[in-house]
Every structure is written in structure tokens, then in C-alpha cells.
């Protein structure tokens, strides 16, 4: 049983909360940490963009990471949302067990 953290960014805290709530309700994520806004600098459609975004960390089973990313993308208002999974090499056993219990595979 392994867990993963899915990192995604959103255009607003409201979008992060909306998508976070849906993914927890659907048992794709056990928990979502919505972080403070950050500045993002990126290349998009031939130009350099500078935007305020809201990052979020979704805790899930490693086996659900692809489904969670697909669901985030389907709900997201960006054309190409940033959503990537970070594997977890270790976790506090009771926390890992909680993630497993709160997500459905």
C-alpha cells in the first residue's frame, strides 16, 4: 500500500476548494491542502506569463493518482492544468492507513 501526493495549481482559491471538495467527496483524494497563493512565471503560447495561482496538494493512493489527475483536469478551467503526482517513499503508518481507508480503489 503506497500513497502519492498530487500537486496542482488553480487560478483562484475558490477553484482549488471546489475541485478539492469534489475529489474528496468522490473518494479520489483523502485530503487536500490548499496553500497560499504563489507567483508563477511560465511560457505559454509563445510568450512569458506571470500570474498568481493557488497550489494544492491532494493525498491519495498511488493507484488512484492517474484517475485523480484526469478528474482534476476535467474540472479545471485551464486548457492545460498543471497536475502531477509525486510518489511517497515513506509515510507514518496510521496516516497511510487513513488515506487508504478514505479513498476507493
Asked whether residue 48 carries a pLDDT value surpassing 90, the answer given is: yes
The CA distance from 10 to 100, in Å, is 26
Confidence of residue 1 (pLDDT cuts 50, 70, 90): confident
pLDDT tens digits for 17-31? Answer: 999 999 999 999 999
Supply the mean pLDDT for the chain. Answer: 96
Residue 73: pLDDT over 90? yes
- Average pLDDT of span 30-37: 98
Spatial distance between the Cα atoms of 104 and 79, rounded to a whole number of angstroms: 28
The pTM is what?
0.95
- The neighbouring-strand residues paired with 3 are 61
Determine contact, residues 13/37, Cβ cutoff 8 Å. Answer: yes
Amino acid at each position: 500500500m503506497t500513497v502519492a501526493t498530487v500537486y496542482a495549481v488553480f487560478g483562484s482559491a475558490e477553484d482549488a476548494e471546489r475541485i478539492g471538495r469534489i475529489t474528496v467527496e468522490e473518494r479520489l483524494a483523502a485530503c487536500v491542502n490548499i496553500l497560499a497563493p504563489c507567483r508563477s512565471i511560465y511560457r505559454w503560447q509563445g510568450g512569458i506569463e506571470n500570474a498568481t495561482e493557488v497550489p494544492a496538494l491532494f493525498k491519495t493512493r498511488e493507484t488512484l493518482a492517474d484517475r485523480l489527475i484526469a478528474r482534476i483536469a476535467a474540472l479545471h478551467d485551464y486548457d492545460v492544468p498543471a497536475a502531477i503526482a509525486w510518489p511517497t517513499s515513506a509515510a507514518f503508518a496510521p496516516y497511510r492507513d487513513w488515506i487508504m481507508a478514505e479513498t476507493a480503489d
